[in-house]
């Protein structure tokens, strides 16, 4: 595993130390890895949403949407009678 040194201002260092006290993370490296994983997940989610938005924008002009008809079709399809 690679090593990286990071300089933090005292308030950030103190914040990390309080996070370690609750026992969820065993050391600073665990906490930083957790933050990086969360950032990666967030970045992936944003990319997915942006792709869907772009795809929607490029799909053409919007068509009218009948919400009542949609609900009726979904009930027929998914609700047992």
Whether 5 is in a domain gets the answer no
Domain that includes residue 27, residue range: 10-78
Residue 35 domain-assigned?
A: yes
* Residue 2 included in any domain: no
Per the domain annotation, does 3 fall within a domain?
no
DSSP character for 80?
-
Q: For the chain, how many structural domains are there in total? A: 1
Coil, strand or helix: which one is 79? Answer: coil
- pLDDT value of residue 81: 59
Query: What single DSSP character describes residue 8?
Result: -
pTM value?
0.70
Contact 30, 16 (CB under 8 A): no
**pLDDT tens by residue, the chain, 81 residues:** 899 999 999 999 999 999 999 999 999 999 999 999 999 999 999 999 999 999 999 999 999 999 999 999 999 999 865
* 61 is a domain residue: yes
């Amino acid at each position: 595993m690679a090593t990286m040194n990071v300089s933090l201002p005292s308030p950030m260092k103190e914040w990390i130390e309080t996070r370690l006290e609750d026992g969820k993370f065993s050391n600073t490296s665990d906490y930083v890895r957790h933050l990086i994983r969360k950032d990666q997940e967030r970045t992936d989610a944003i990319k997915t949403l942006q792709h869907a938005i772009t795809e929607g924008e490029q799909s053409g002009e919007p068509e009218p949407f009948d919400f009542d008809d949609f609900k009726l079709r979904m009930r027929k399809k998914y609700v047992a009678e």
